[in-house]
Amino acid sequence: MELDFFSPVNEELVGGAGNKLGSSLRLHLADKAFPDLEGVKIVIFGVLEDRLDEEPSGEPFNLDGIRWEFYNLYPGNWHLPMADLGDIQKGETVEDTFFAVQSVVNMCLKKGIIPVIIGGSQDLVYAQYRAYDGVEQMVNLVNIDSRFDLGDADKPISNRSYVGRIVVTKPYNLFNYSNLGYQTYFNSQDEIELMDRLFFDAYRLGEVTGDITSIEPVMRDANLVGMDLGAISGGALGNYRLKSPNGFDGKEICSLARYAGISDKVTSFGVFEYTSRLNFPAANMLIAQVLWYFAEGVNYRKNENTISSKKEFIRYQVPIDDEILVFYKSPLSGRWWIEIPFISPANNKLKRHTLLPCTQGDYLDACNQIIPERWYKTKRKNEI
């Protein structure tokens, strides 16, 4: 682990934790050795970078409030080895900060540890994504956000254009991008149409909140997940002066965090857009609970991505027009998948995407001769 990147955790935050999370975490403290990460499943670290924020607060921020609330939560009925590495400070340039984040996330991926990033501006997702450059697979990015953040890829990267930069910058690792909770009035029609042309997935806020369980398959197919705190309503964050009267409430955002945690494929998770404007108790507590629910989800993973697990799946075939859709159901969890056919042996995009997570509703729709939209989009991407 790149120790020089991190400033230690404030030791005063640990006092009084008792049998709460703060007493079980392996912490990077100033007067102690860097924590041993052997056997650790999740590492948490902050990134105090916000220079590419298009609406900067102009004030420095720290994550002490979030840590205080998180350390003072009780663990669930689970014993998940976790560590808090401290914070990555602003580098001399933003690129230096990106390099540090990319290096740490990449190291975690190689060690089989899930990094949880608490950050400033969401352009840090670009560095999180670039950590997958050395991993031989296509990557699915899920973003919980009221905006697509595609922006203008020809302009300098910002917290509103990092997804566009991901799409156009080599190496091209991105297989799919899914946005959860977009609000139409925050996104131009050009961006909405571009999402459709690229066969990316976009779910409006009302669509997600209307049936939040329908989002579980989207999270189950994700490799990295980013959460923009701007997707949460100002009321849920405890401050009606914030510019987001609409958005997810506390229960909904924690449900999404748990779905991300329980996904066998998610290997990194980030919470972004924390600024000095959010440094008050309700917001800090909600973010702490988001981290708690993600950790609980990780604890209850089923490890159904293994070949041996898939051999136990129940197989269903459904003829539709000229297609035969093949569905699989896990007898262990009751979850469903649909098979994506290879177009040709030369196209290797789907080496790790032969089974697409879906819902039982998708299977029932197929039985009624309705082709699932996510299956169609994934198949079309493989044909391009």
**CATH code (residue 190):** 3.40.800.10
- φ and ψ at residue 16, rounded to 5 degrees: 80, 10
Cβ atoms of residues 178 and 141 within 8 Å? yes
* Mean of per-residue pLDDT scores for the chain: 92
Which one-letter DSSP state was computed for residue 134? G
Query: 114 and 218: one domain?
Result: yes
Q: Are residues 229 and 291 in the same domain?
A: yes
User: What is the tens place of the pLDDT at every residue in 192-231?
Assistant: 999 999 999 999 999 999 999 999 999 999 999 999 999 9
Same domain for 187 and 79: yes
Please write the tens of the pLDDT for every residue from 312-370.
999 999 999 888 999 999 999 999 999 987 655 544 544 544 799 999 999 999 999 99
At 2, the pLDDT band (50, 70, 90 cuts) reads: low
Least confident of 1-10, 59-68, 147-156: 1-10
Do 71 and 14 contact (CB within 8 A), yes or no? Answer: yes
| C-beta of residue 2 within 8 angstroms of C-beta of residue 100 | yes
Q: Are residues 224 and 250 in the same domain?
A: yes
Which residue, of 276, 299, 322, is where some domain finishes?
Answer: 299
Model confidence at 271: pLDDT above 70: yes
- Cα 158 vs. chain centroid, distance in angstroms? 19
For residue 284, the enclosing domain spans 3-299
**Domain finish residue from 299, 321, 352:** 299
**pLDDT over 90, % of the chain:** 79
Q: Do 288 and 326 lie in a common domain?
A: no
pTM for this prediction: 0.94
**Residues sharing a CB contact under 8 Å with residue 105, sequence separation 6 or more, in sequence order:** 115, 117, 127, 128, 131, 268
In terms of domains, do 134 and 31 share one? yes
Same domain, 108 and 20: yes
Q: How far is CA 113 from CA 44, 48, 83, 104, 367, in A?
A: 10, 22, 10, 11, 40
Listed residues 299, 322, 354: the one ending a domain: 299
Q: Is 332 in the same domain as 277? A: no
